[in-house]
Amino acid sequence: MVYIDKIKIAPKPFFIWGLAALIVMSLIFLASSQQGDESGELSLWVTDITVGTVWRIVGAQGEEMPDGFARVAEFTIRKAAHFAIYFMLAFCVGNAVRALTPKKSTVFWVALIWGSAYGALDEFYQTFIPGRVGIWYDWLINSAGAFVAAVLVVKLLMRKRRDEQAEGAQ
């Protein structure tokens, strides 16, 4: 442990989680930098693989997939991707902050605000990319992913404390 102004810092976990957060942020930036047609093609490819696999699993090989089903599936997959990537970002940020402070509220708010703010910046950035638009409800989905991750990181912190107290009492 390293102490800086009475703050206990665990350099290795902070570095690892901080690096992971930077990698996730880079992936978000790269995905957002794709022009509209490139982004759409990638989404359709992922949807075709996902929905096609599910369609085969449920035994509907001989039936043609309804067009509306494919559109709903693509929308759902895109929004789930928003939720998941911002969940990962806030989870990484929250764990990096956890290496700096044991305060639950600080861990929660930094993870949530970081994920939500980066989501808002990402949606704003997309307004400058040809064929892309920033959508307010995408930002809400981004923020929801960050919120769930922030709650999870705090729960893990509380569990770790409880386990450490139980070990200390023995």
* Mean of per-residue pLDDT scores for the chain: 84
The pLDDT, as a whole number, for residue 33 is 86
Nearest to 25 by CA among 105, 142, 135, 154: 142
Nearest to 77 by CA among 28, 20, 141, 34: 141
Reported as a single tens digit per residue, the pLDDT across 98-145 is: 988 889 999 999 999 999 999 999 999 999 988 888 899 999 999 999
Environment class of residue 31 by beta-carbon count within 10 Å: exposed (0-12), middle (13-18) or buried (19+)?
A: middle
The pLDDT, as a whole number, for residue 140 is 97
Looking at the predicted structure, is the pLDDT value of residue 9 above 70?
Answer: no
Whether the pTM exceeds 0.85: the reply is no
Reported as a single tens digit per residue, the pLDDT across 14-28 is: 899 999 999 999 999
